[in-house]
Each structure stands twice: as C-alpha cells, then as structure tokens.
Amino acid sequence: MAAGLPLPSMASQPRRPRHPNVLLIITDQQRTDTLGYRRLTPCRTPNLDHLAAEGASFDRCLTPTPICLPARTALFTSQYGHQTETVRNTDTLTAEPILLTRLKANGYQVDYAGKWGMGKSIPSGWVDRAEANDTAEYSRWCAEQGLEDGWAFNDPKMHSRREDVSSPATAVSSLKPEQTNEAWTVDHAIKLLNTRDRNRPFFLTCAFQGPHPPFKIPEPYYSMYDPASIPEPKNFGPTPGEPAALSRSFYRTVWRDHGTSWGAWRKSVAVYWGFVTMIDAQIGRLVERLRSEGILDETLVVMTADHGELMGSHGLWMKYQAYEESLRVPLIIRAPWLFKPGLRTRTPSSLIDIAPTVLAACGVASPAAVQGVDLFSSTRSGGPRLLFSEFTPKADWHGVVDWRLVTDDHYKYVWNQGDIDECYDLSVDPYELTNLARTTAKKAVLRRLQGELRDWMRRTRDPLLADFQRSLANAAA
C-alpha cells in the first residue's frame, strides 16, 4: 500500500466483494474549494461530505488537461490527450476507453447516464446502455412538460461575445429543482439501476452537465449564498509578469467585460456555489438509491470532475490555464473494504489514476500502456510523485498557446509554447503570484523540472517535444 492509505482493521473491515459494483460520478467544471468538508468556502455539499466521511478524499488531484473532452478521454483511457489524439473538444475518442471496455469484457453491465463528452456518439460496443446523453432530448422533454427550456446554453442572454462561450452572468430559472437537467440525468441513472441485470455486477457512470456555466438555476439555490459575504481572492485580476498570451486572450476579454472589480463577480460565485449544492442534492438521491437497496457497501463509488474554474482569478474566465483553480479537481472514493473511512490524503493523484484504480478493485488487469497508477496498491520510491498536464487551444481566436506542465506538488513548472516559462513554489505561494522562472533563485529547481518534463514528453511521444527542446536550447544560448 502507498504511504498514507491505511487499510481498515480486520475487526471492522467489511467483506471484500468478489466483483464490486461501480458508480462513477462526474461533475463538470467543479472547483475543489466547493467541497463543504474542506471548509475552504461557505459552499455546502452535505452528501459529498457524507461520502467523504465514509470513504477517502484525495485533496491534491490534478486534471491531465483543463478542458472537457480531453480530460474525460484521459480518465477513461488512462492516457494523455496527445496519446489518443483527443486534445480539443471537437475531437472524437477512437482509442479504447479501458474503464468501460475491460469491465464489459469481464462480465460487467456497463451503463452510462448523462454527458458523454468524448465525441459525437457512444459506440455501442463500449457500453450496454446509454441514456440522457443528448441535451436536445432534455430540451424536448421540457417542451413536452410545458416548461421553459432548461438547457441554459440555448438562452442567448447567457452567452459571451461569442455564441459558443458562456458568460459569468447569472439568471433565475423558472424550473423546479426536480425539473433541471441535473435531476433529469439522475432520473435516468436510477432507471438504469432499477432495470439492470441483477445477475451481473454493474458499472454505472452518472455524468452531470453542471456546475459548468451558464449559471441559470432555480430557487432556492439561486439565492442560497450571500454575494456580499464572499471575499476577494488574493489572485483576483491579472498577475504581474504573466505570459503575454493571457493579456490578449478571449478569457481576459470576458473577464474585462464582466467587470474588473471583485464586486462584479460576487454574484457569479454565489450562484456557482448554489449550482454545486443543487448537484450535491442529486448525488444524494443516487447514493441513497444504492443504500436503500442494501448494495452501497458492495459498490465502489468514485466522485470527481473533469477540471476546475478560474472565476476571475488571474483575471481570467473559465478554465484552460495552468493555474491551480483550473487544474485541481475533487476525487472521493468510497470502498470500505479498501481503506479506513474518513481518510483525507494529500497523496498526489490524477484523473488518469481512476481507470487503473477501479479496474484493480474489480480484479481486472490494466494494459501496459496506462499512464496512471492504482492508488490503493502502488508503492512509490525515489522521491515525490510527478504529475503532468497539457493543453491545446480550441481555436486561434482564443488567443492562447499550447502548454505543458509538471509538478512535484511542491514546485510547478509550465512551458508555454512561444511565451515565457512559469514556475511556482506552491508551498509558500499557493495563489501563484510570483513567477520563479523569471529569477535565478530557483535555477536548479527549474532545470530539474524541465528535465522531467522533457523525459515525460519523450516517453509519451508528445508531438511538441522538438519545439520544447528548441526552446530549452535557445534559453541556454
């Protein structure tokens, strides 16, 4: 076992299921400071708090890329986007999603409810059943019920200057909480549970569309948190000495349009928190369904998100950037036969670890090509674990550059293609205000991390390796 992940005592350890069921819960664009049990903000998540109290919380989980589709493909394949040719939201996964296919091949009923987010459609060979994947279907359901369209992306008032990018604006939805897309998704997930083949173990994914903006949600969640009580973060607004690309990016434009003072952002944060609390209630419905059937302790429950949200930090909107608010994601795993309940660990982890961890718990071998580790049986030596992340711009009009990142959870190094490097000491500068790459104080650290990043890019056959090596050579000249 890795250090810091203790097993339950023999007296309290539940019987290990031979073939545990699996429930995977994925939210979209959820920051880690929204988790109530972490007490970092007033945001309340009683059901996730309870799940963490009965399970383990990995407080330093990193996304392999802070953009929806590539992050999800990395989760299900345990490979990076550049390895599976899924680096943009417009790509489609064709590589094997081992978390689905390997369990299906080993007798699991594999069902999927909610946001697919890995391409145009779900290949039938990857799952047994899929529902609630099409937001147009939800919009039709709303129309049939005589409701307003609950899919807020269809409301032009919630867009930024471009129709395909949401704004930080907020609005009250006329729907009841049980009529939202989040409730509709859980309704379908519960339907899949109720109609499953009970002679087979199940793997069920429930993937939410929120709390990704637009921030249009019903009461009481819209007014649940007081905007006036939300303090300004220390890194609100542009950071001195930032990469040049950020100053001209579309995300800076949206930030500037919404408001350059914190007062303009308070309501957005408050409604974002309400969105999270609303989703937490739906997660509670889903977990309670397992508990009421008496199968919760036979089910491995994993909750995570694809990436975070900047929400004005560093003067930016949405995600896409190599800052902590964008990169860190929740990771809660409930499996009472694997470890003591209530475990909180800072063990570095990544979304690429979920597939090998779940497969190992289900007695299924992972292929050699996986980039992640089984979080509950791996042993590590030779220093802290290194984590990596990457990003490829969605389009030229975004005004940003490709970047690659390596962190040992103390220092973080970012190579921005054609722009300045970044290096932060996260232990003393968690808000990433001082770029150490622009000084000589940490030259040895910088060179070490540059070497680690180069080696990772070589191992994973990153197509930008040659560009990175040229940039190092030019800097040394």
* Interatomic CA distance for residues 134 and 45, integer angstroms: 27
- In the chain, ranges of CATH 3.40.720.10 domains: 21-361
Q: Rounded CA gap, 432 and 316, in Å?
A: 14
Which amino acid is present at 32? T
- 331 SS3 class: strand
Query: Phi/psi class of residue 318: alpha, beta or left (left: φ > 0; alpha: ψ in -120 to 50)?
Result: left
- Report the predicted TM-score, pTM, of the whole model to 2 decimal places: 0.95
Measure CA 155 to chain center.
25
Judge contact between 5 and 282, C-beta under 8 A. Answer: no
Render each residue's pLDDT in the chain as its tens digit; 477 residues. 344 455 554 445 667 788 999 999 999 999 999 999 999 999 999 999 999 999 999 999 999 999 999 999 999 999 999 999 999 999 999 999 999 999 999 999 999 999 999 998 898 899 999 999 999 999 999 999 999 999 999 999 999 887 778 999 999 999 999 999 999 999 999 999 999 999 999 999 999 999 999 999 999 999 999 999 999 999 999 999 899 999 999 999 999 999 999 999 999 999 999 999 999 999 999 999 999 999 999 999 999 999 999 999 999 999 999 999 999 999 999 999 888 899 999 999 999 999 999 999 999 999 999 999 999 886 444 568 999 999 999 888 888 999 999 999 999 999 999 999 999 999 999 999 999 998 888 999 999 999 999 999 999 999 999 999 999 999 887
Omega before 211 within 30 of 0, i.e. cis? yes
Output the pLDDT for position 18.
Answer: 83
Task: Say what the pLDDT of residue 147 is.
Answer: 98
pLDDT score for 1: 36
* Separation between Cα atoms, residue 72 and residue 28, nearest integer Å: 10
Residue 232, helix vs strand vs coil = coil
Give the HSE-up count for residue 342: Cα atoms under 13 Å, Cβ half-sphere: 1
pLDDT of residue 17: 83
pLDDT for res 340: 82
Q: Return the structure tokens found at 193.
A: 């549970």
Reduced to 3 states, what is the DSSP secondary structure of residue 255?
helix
- What is the per-residue pLDDT for 441? 85
**Do the Cβ atoms of 316 and 252 come closer than 8 Å?**
yes
Q: What are the residue ranges of CATH 3.30.1120.10 in the chain?
A: 387-476
**Homologous superfamily of the 21-361 domain (CATH):** Alkaline Phosphatase, subunit A (3.40.720.10)
Q: Across 336-407, where does the E strand assignment appear?
A: 343-345, 349-350, 387-391, 403-407
CATH fit for domain 387-476, picks 3.30.1120.10, 3.40.220.10, 3.60.15.10, 3.40.605.10: 3.30.1120.10
